[in-house]
Chain A
Amino acid sequence: MAAGVATWLPFARAAAVGWLPLAQQPLPPAPGVKASRGDEVLVVNVSGRRFETWKNTLDRYPDTLLGSSEKEFFYDADSGEYFFDRDPDMFRHVLNFYRTGRLHCPRQECIQAFDEELAFYGLVPELVGDCCLEEYRDRKKENAERLAEDEEAEQAGDGPSLPAGSSLRQQLWRAFENPHTSTAALVFYYVTGFFIAVSVIANVVETIPCRGPARRPPREQPCGERFPLAFFCMDTACVLIFTGEYLLRLFAAPSRCRFLRSVMSLIDVVAILPYYIGLLVPKNEDVSGAFVTLRVFRVFRIFKFSRHSQGLRILGYTLKSCASELGFLLFSLTMAIIIFATVMFYAEKGTNKTNFTSIPAAFWYTIVTMTTLGYGDMVPSTIAGKIFGSICSLSGVLVIALPVPVIVSNFSRIYHQNQRADKRRAQQKVRLARIRLAKSGTTNAFLQYKQNGGLEDSSRGEEQALCVRNRSAFEQQHHHLLHCLEKTTCHEFTDELTFSEALGAVSLGGRTSRSTSVSSQPVGPGSLLSSCCPRRAKRRAIRLANSTASVSHGSMQELDTLAGLQRSPAPQSRSSLNAKPHDSLDLNCDSRDFVAAIISIPTPPANTPDESQPSSPGGGGSGASSTLRNSSLGTPCLLPETVKISSL
């Protein structure tokens, strides 16, 4: 539970006075608190340094070492203090957590040592306060990375171990993704790299004009046309290798759909498709234009290098993440271009033989001027044109030069921020999940307490289960409070599973209604009074009907506990050290009540035991219960026998 809740418990219990007049059943008696409520000062001796604190302070967090009975292991009876052989400087932070509710992280200590202390005292690292959380996480991550790097360096020497028995497909995929795993993969990697380079160079070289030997007209031809066969063979070889690689990757990919949609595979396809299209399309004049355009796409082979280069991948990623900044730059540039082009066009309109024939024609002048290129192929000749032209070039300097550093710093900022934000989001989910888990831990504790027969009359004190007896004062009182709420509203707390089960069973209707008596009301609008008690017997029937475990000792209680424990194992927490749940499965729990429950179900399914039907209380109980059930339409849930049965 969160900070200082124990302090407020008396207040919450006092506030239950608001439920008192509304309760339709009598509220359960308050638990007798064993220890005196007086506060005492405890002395905690950590390696010689004495810390003194109120007992209440330590009791605030019953899930930790100091808050639970685990600290009794460290109690030194001779000196009357709790002795811990740990670092006293770190203990200061731990104790301050109890006092203030916030765990601070010491700046000058090693984060590993701090973690170890936290683990010893039973504090989860999630408790680190918000003020220190960021730094704690960063330092921890740094540490982890450093350790991981050391480990990797060690491992790389040994050579990676391939999991035995993995299929050819998995081996192949692994070889593709990590070329360093085996020599064959490395060879393949370098071969493909070589062929990519060869292909790109061939594309470039085939356009260079090489002077042919003395032909009739000594004209210059691009090399591609001079040695068509050679280039064609080279192209074919490269494309064959690329196609083979692509098909192998497709075969080895664990998820083919995802692979097909990935960027790299698209690049591969675009790189090799022009060749095949070129093969299929016949060489006539009409389509050769389009065919030539297709050859341009061959240059995309150069992007295949990104598999070989980490830097290229990072660049691509950062460009993608900076897209908005670039987009804005482009947009503002476009605006400026349009404005200045329009102005220049109208300024130069009067001149004859002017280059500014239209506004789009003026775009070229504006761009060239704004980027300070100044080719000089278009110059204004009027005065207005020159004035606006100079304003254009000055503003161009500003517009272009200013955003560039901003974009550069944006790159690094956005890159790091993205990474950090994703991690924080993932951690937030984990934190929320843990908080929810802690919350459900509380309710689980209460539900388990109910299952272990804690709600019975405490007059039969000696026979109560050990788990029920050994709860801390805080737990007793908190459970009592929740029990009061249940009695006030005539509903019980359950967990999700039981709730959905009950809904399902109720909607089925058939089986349970057969096995319960006529007094069980349907789920529809019925009076609250009659519906709350017979439902309890119905719940037993549902549980019995659903459970498949064979009943050995014949206690319904045990059955429920078994079923409950199977479904929702309560987290073994320190506060349950105060209770020992394993004892609960014994027949310490009184058998009187649930026998009555067994009997109250007229036609139990075949699983019920028949050895645990004692004679006298059973007979009396059954008589009373059957009359009760048949007449419970009108009686309120206040009769003691009903209370007895329904207190299960």
Chain B
Amino acid sequence: MNLEGLEMVAVLVVLALFVKVLEQFGLFEPVSLEDSVEDEFELSTVCHRPEGLEQLQEQTKFTRKELQVLYRGFKNECPSGIVNEENFKQIYSQFFPQGDSSTYATFLFNAFDTNHDGSVSFEDFVAGLSVILRGTTDDRLNWAFNLYDLNKDGCITKEEMLDIMKSIYDMMGKYTYPALREEAPREHVESFFQKMDRNKDGVVTIEEFIESCQKDENIMRSMQLFDNVI
């Protein structure tokens, strides 16, 4: 019989199907794919234990009982022993339901996370609280300066201050009285720099900051609001 073109094609197709069927029965061994390594299920059981109670007592100015209460609350919320940025933001946002507190919470997180490892452990937490609640006025001002100085270079520029100011105003939300205007944060920053920047060089250093704050009696008077927190 003379095989014409189409018949040849038909025969080829039949042969191809035959080969496939034989493959199924394992008589031919085509190239086997590499076994895809199953991703190990990453169990995030990183559990951080703080140092002992006595050490924390030495490092911070809290009493034993206060540390116990603090730790119980902390451990209940974060059983793994550390807080990451997302949790931090979520926790802080519960206090300001009207506005958006996520930016300010990020700044706070960076201020609490002194060793910059991306998580706040109980020691960081308690150390920060100790400075703010039990420290001297200078300590507190130092801490606040550290918060404002976003890139930790020792001086606050107008841009940094503007970021901080915007994040604070964001927390107020939309429904405020009087209505929040676009320029409000900027104006606030201007007045802040007017007050703080002694040598008018456009940045506020730590000495200028502390000096100006100590001269301002309202700020000094407001420091009392940390007296009864814990």
Contact A54 B72 (CB under 8 A): yes
How many residues in B have their beta carbons less than 8 Å from beta carbons of A? 77
Is the pair B178, A384 in contact by a Cβ cutoff of 8 Å?
no
Q: A22-B188, A531-B178 are in contact. Are A15 and B229 (CB under 8 A)?
A: no
For B191, give its contact among A9, A26, A489, A529 (CB under 8 Å): A529
Nearest B residue to A27 via CB reads B222
B229 A528 Cβ-Cβ under 8 A:
no
B192 within 8 A of A: yes
Q: Which chain A residue shows the least CB distance to B223?
A: A20
Interface string of A353-367 (1 = CB under 8 A from B): 000000000000000
> What A residues does B53 contact at CB under 8 A?
none
Query: What residues of A have a CB within 8 angstroms of the CB of B66 in the complex?
Result: 37
Q: For B191, what are the chain A residues with a Cβ–Cβ distance below 8 Å?
A: 24, 528-529
| Residues A525 and B183 in contact in the complex (CB < 8 Å), given A4-B77, A8-B77, A493-B98 | yes
Q: Contact between A2 and B94 (Cβ–Cβ < 8 Å)? A: yes
Q: Is the C-beta of A18 less than 8 angstroms from some C-beta in chain B?
A: yes
Q: How far is the CB of A371 from chain B (nearest CB, A)?
A: 22
Cα–Cα distance between A99 and B77 once the two chains are bound (Å): 10
- Please tell me if B18 contacts chain A, counting CB pairs below 8 Å: no
A25-60: which residues lie under 8 A (CB-CB) from chain B? 25-33, 37-39, 54, 56
Residues 1-35 of B, flagged 1 when their CB comes within 8 A of A and 0 if not, give: 10010110111011000000000000000000000
B172-202 interface (Cβ within 8 A of A): 172-181, 183-184, 187-188, 191-192, 196
Whole-angstrom CA separation of A2 from B90 in the bound complex:
11
Closest to A383 in B: B7
User: Is A314's beta carbon under 8 Å from chain B?
Assistant: no
Contacts of A3 in B (CB 8 A): 77
Q: Do A21 and B144 touch across chains, with their CB atoms under 8 A apart?
A: yes
Q: Which of A27, A30, A56 contacts B69 (CB 8 A)?
A: A56
Chain B residues contacting A439 (CB-CB under 8 Å) are 97
Most buried by A among B68, B141, B164, B184: B184
**Complex interface bits, A460-489 against B, C-beta within 8 A gives 1, otherwise 0:** 000000000000000001101110111011
In the complex, the answer to whether B219 meets A20 with C-beta atoms within 8 Å is yes
CB pair B184 A384 closer than 8 Å: no
Q: Are the C-beta atoms of A443 and B65 separated by less than 8 Å?
A: no
A contact residues around B150 at 8 Å (CB) = none
The answer to whether A7 touches B219 (Cβ under 8 A) is: no
Q: Which residue of B lies closest to A503 (CB)?
A: B179
Q: Tell me if A's interface is mostly helix, strand, loop or mixed.
A: helix
Q: Which of B1, B147, B209 contacts A18 (CB 8 A)?
A: B147
Q: In the complex, are the beta carbons of A27 and B94 less than 8 A apart?
A: no
Nearest B residue to A491 via CB reads B176
B228 near A30: Cβ-Cβ < 8 Å: yes
- The answer to the question of A12 belonging to the interface, with a C-beta cut-off of 8 Å to chain B, is yes
Inter-chain contact A527/B187, CB cutoff 8 Å: yes
Q: Which residues of A contact B95 (CB under 8 A)?
A: 5, 8-9, 12, 478, 481
Q: Is the CB of A30 within 8 A of B229?
A: yes
A638 at the interface (CB under 8 A from B): yes
CA A258 – CA B65 in complex, angstroms? 70
Q: Are A1 and B168 in contact (CB under 8 A)?
A: no
- Please report the C-alpha to C-alpha distance between residue A20 and residue B143 in the assembled complex, in whole angstroms: 11
B229 touches A10 (CB 8 A): yes
A382-419 CB mask vs B (1 if < 8 Å, else 0) is 11100110010000000000000000000000000000
Residues of A within 8 A of B1 (CB): 383
Q: Min CB distance, B55 to chain A, in Å? A: 21
Which residue of chain A lies nearest to B192 when distances are taken between CB atoms in the complex?
A22
Say how far B154's CB is from chain A's closest CB, in angstroms: 17
Interface stretch, picked from A81-89, A237-245, A494-502, is A494-502
Q: Which residue of B6, B91, B172, B223 is within 8 Å of A493 (Cβ)?
A: B172
In the bound complex, residues from chain B placing their C-beta under 8 Å from that of A149 are none
Q: Does chain A have a CB within 8 A of B47? A: no
Whether A72 is near chain B, meaning CB under 8 Å from some CB there, is no
B152-184: CB near A (< 8 Å → 1, else 0) gives: 000000000000110011011111111111011
- A26/B7 contact (C-beta < 8 A), A491-B176, A528-B191 known: no
For the complex, is B36 an interface residue (Cβ under 8 Å from A)?
no
> How long is the Cα–Cα vector from A478 to B95 in the complex, in angstroms?
8
Cα separation A9 to B177 with both chains bound (whole Å): 25
Given contacts A22-B168, A443-B97, A489-B168, contact A494 B175 (CB under 8 A): yes
Interface status of A532 (Cβ within 8 A of chain B) = yes
CB-CB < 8 A to B96: which residues of A?
A: 482, 485
Contact A30–B227 (Cβ < 8 Å): yes
CA distance A337 to B92 in the complex (A): 63
Q: Which residue of A lies closest to B196 (CB)?
A: A21
- In the complex, what distance in Å separates the CA atom of A523 from the CA atom of B165? 21
Tell me which of A11, A13, A480, A485 contacts B171 (CB under 8 A): A485
Known A17-B226, A25-B218, A484-B225: A12·B92 in contact at CB below 8 Å: yes
Between A and B, 18 residue pairs with Cβ closer than 8 Å are A5-B95, A10-B133, A15-B92, A15-B132, A18-B144, A20-B144, A21-B196, A383-B1, A439-B97, A485-B168, A485-B172, A489-B172, A490-B188, A491-B178, A499-B176, A499-B179, A528-B191, A532-B178
Further contacts, 20 of them, CB under 8 A, given A384-B10, A484-B225: A10-B230, A12-B92, A14-B128, A15-B92, A20-B219, A21-B213, A22-B164, A29-B225, A56-B69, A347-B10, A384-B7, A480-B225, A488-B168, A489-B188, A491-B178, A493-B98, A493-B177, A495-B175, A499-B174, A535-B178
